[in-house]
Amino acid sequence: MGLLGTIMEHPEEVYPMLKLKMAAARISKQIPAEEHWAFAYTMLQKVSRSFALVIQQLGPELRNAVCVFYLILRALDTVEDDTSVATEVKVPILESFYRHLYDLNWSFSCGTKDYKILMDKFQLVQTSFLELNKDYQEAIEEIARRMGAGMAIFIQKEVETVDDYDEYCHYVAGLVGLGLSKLFYVAGLEDLASDSLSNSMGLFLQKTNIIRDYLEDINEIPKSRMFWPREIWSKYANKLEDFKYEENFEKSVQCLNDMVTNALIHVKDCLQYMALLKDQATFRFCAIPQVMAIGTLALCYNNVNVFKGVVKMRRGLTARVIAETNTMKDVYDAFYELSASLESKIEDKDPNSSLTRKRVEEIKKACTASGSITRRGKYLKESWSIYNSVLVSA
Ligand code: D61
Ligand code: MG
């Protein structure tokens, strides 16, 4: 939607969008002077569609550590995702990657476009890494070691069961949660969160991506790996590809709803994790992606467009989430309303309708039990129309 369309149809999104544009302009002018840090922050903006902004609003010390953490794991993921690298070559690189962090002579060229630049100039990321305080370095190294080992396992094995799915998501995203919790702790900003809650933060984000990206992943050339677990999709089709064909769309949507219902398991942990945070910038850094994720799930639920193209929240709505996610009350409000909006799309004929309803009810209860949803009536009326219109128009 263009600016004029937004002004006409979603005037409440105009101010947040302008605010976001100005913040982005400010950030792009703030690139550091030293070459390695300039590279790190320029690269961050290029390769992370959504995390650059939330990382950049952190305080300077934690920001540097999280930026480097991101780029190191993105490099590891570039190795994992490059289908042109043979398994025999890839597996040992994934397993030894964490040791190369300290070796400025190491490099491995792979990936394409910006990801290739990241790999080719990885030395600049390493230089930034080596400037971090030792405690940050050790936390980052440990996560890179465990993630590389986990990725190596799944290069040679498919995601069959729901347990495999949780295990794979643990390696690629749950561990990011554990690492971030450690970085917040080392920075002296937060208590050390439990591994289990930290893991859930990552699983909820990763599962949302895996659900939303079905079509993009299945259509990728050369063929990429798929992460929808067979234990779930085999209830609805013989092959995962079948879901993209119109004649199967009824089953496709049932499977999609099953996947969304599975992802909802993590919401209560995520709310608990966020409720324990104390620092305002850390809170926003954690909460904005989570609100986007529940919004994306609400949008995808029962939505056949997931099998026809890209289903994404409107930019204006994203801008609103960024502007309006500041306190735990904002998070409870958003989760309440977005899960209620998902609930309104549940059809009795869906094979998992009662389980989905049960999970949504639990989420709504967790939000109201907090006692912080005060003037829900007012906020609800206003955002219902806003959030619902995005769900309907997609
Ligand atoms: C609080 C705030 C942010 C959090 C969090 C808690 C807990 C976990 C995460 C962020 C990680 C969520 C990952 C979700 C997006 N998935 C991916 O990017 C997949 O790659 C996974 C391996 C590399 C992870 C790199 C990463 C991602 C986000 C970060 C971070 C590191 C460091 C700091 C902050 C955020 C996915 O990537 C390709 C794609 O999405 O198209 C994949 O290959 O599956
Ligand atoms: Mg990957």
Q: Determine if residue 129 is left, alpha or beta; phi over 0 gives left, psi from -120 to 50 gives alpha, anything else beta.
A: alpha
User: How many C-beta atoms lie closer than 10 Å to residue 331's C-beta?
Assistant: 25
Rounded to 5°, angle at Cα 312 from 307 and 318? 170
- Mean pLDDT, residues 14-42 taken together: 91
Answer whether residue 56 shows pLDDT above 60.
yes
Rounded Cα–Cα distance for residues 77 and 386 (Å): 36
Of 145, 225, 230, 357, the active-site residue reads 225
Q: How confident is the model at residue 16 (pLDDT cuts 50, 70, 90)?
A: confident
Cα separation values, 330 from 287, 323, 379, Å: 9, 11, 10
The finding on whether 178 has its CB within 6 A of some atom of ligand 1 is: no
Q: How far is the CA of 246 from the centre of ligand 1 (A)?
A: 32
Average pLDDT, the chain: 93
Tokens found for residue 67: 């930026």
Q: How confident is the model at residue 380 (pLDDT cuts 50, 70, 90)?
A: very low
**Tens of pLDDT, residues 254-279:** 999 999 999 999 999 999 999 999 99
Nearest Cα neighbor of 172 from 81, 284, 237, 85 is: 81
Answer whether residue 292 shows pLDDT above 50.
yes
SS3 helix, strand, coil % of the chain, rounded to 5? Answer: 75, 0, 25
The finding on whether 201 has its CB within 6 A of some atom of ligand 1 is: yes
**Tens of pLDDT, residues 328-337:** 999 999 999 9
User: How many C-beta atoms lie closer than 10 Å to residue 64's C-beta?
Assistant: 22
CA 241, 245, 248, 249 torsion-angle sign: positive
pTM over 0.75: yes
Is 145 among the catalytic positions? Answer: no
Is 115 among the catalytic positions? Answer: no
Answer whether residue 383 shows pLDDT above 80.
no
Of 39, 108, 168, 273, the active-site residue reads 168
Q: How far is the CA of 82 from the centre of ligand 2 (A)?
A: 9
DSSP label at residue 173: I
Q: How far is the CA of 78 from the centre of ligand 2 (A)?
A: 7
Nearest Cα neighbor of 339 from 246, 268, 236, 239 is: 268
User: In this predicted structure, which of 159-173, 196-210, 300-314, 367-381 has the lowest mean pLDDT?
Assistant: 367-381
The finding on whether 242 has its CB within 6 A of some atom of ligand 1 is: no
Residue nearest to atom 13 of ligand 1 (CA): 173
